[in-house]
Amino acid sequence: MNNSSNRIFMQHDAILDLIQGMARLTERHLQDREIEAPVMIGIHTGGVWVAERLHALLHIGQPLGQLDISFYRDDFTRIGMNPQVKPSSIPFAVDDRHIILVDDVIQSGRTIRAAMNEIFDFGRPASITLVTLIERSGRELPIQPDIIGLEPPLADEEHIRLQGPEPLNLAINGSRVNREKT
């Protein structure tokens, strides 16, 4: 049972390639839906790192918004205040805007639930498109990303995490023995 380890799964350049691909998919997605002049919001912390690159690749005019969902977490009374809480900043009016919401990893879907609740406290967007770098199993809410960078096969016990901001690394820790089951 000594398969538990912390290992680099993917490195900076490969991650940037993934983000390039995500940018192309997002562009096509927006065209299909005839969405013009979208705005972008990244979720702290890893989501912001991905969003900064996507934001530049998609030439979005409005500055990037950043959300810290600490005040909207559903497990707040269990785990308490995140000591690194950062102010959310959305430097544009949300009302009637098409929002591209970016996060690094989607698993349970609870972070996205919290982020959407927070966005609606800023205003009523026209639409939200969800883009995540990594999609993995373990969904607990009916929330699915529109654009995915990669869907790596991971065991339930394995955790994948984006490290950054410079260089970006995807790291996995936890046991991989049960990977076949997932």
* 72 is a contact residue toward another protein (CB under 8 A): yes
129 close to 98: Cβ distance less than 8 angstroms: yes
Residues in the chain: 182
Task: Say if residues 141 and 171 touch (Cβ distance below 8 Å).
Answer: no
Number of residues that bind another protein (CB under 8 A): 26
122 binds another protein (CB under 8 A): yes
Longest dimension (CA), the chain: 53
| Closest approach of another protein to the CB of residue 147, in Å | 24
Q: Give the C-alpha separation, 20 to 149, whole Å.
A: 9
Residues 6+ apart with CB under 8 A from 136: 105, 106, 107, 151, 152, 154, 160
Which one of 9-17, 58-66, 82-90, 162-170 is the stretch in contact with another protein (CB under 8 A)? 82-90
Span from 34-42, 51-59, 81-89, 146-154 in contact with another protein (CB under 8 A):
81-89
Cβ closest to another protein, residue 6 vs residue 117: 117
Binding site for another protein (CB under 8 A): 68, 70-72, 75-81, 83-89, 94, 108, 117-118, 120-123
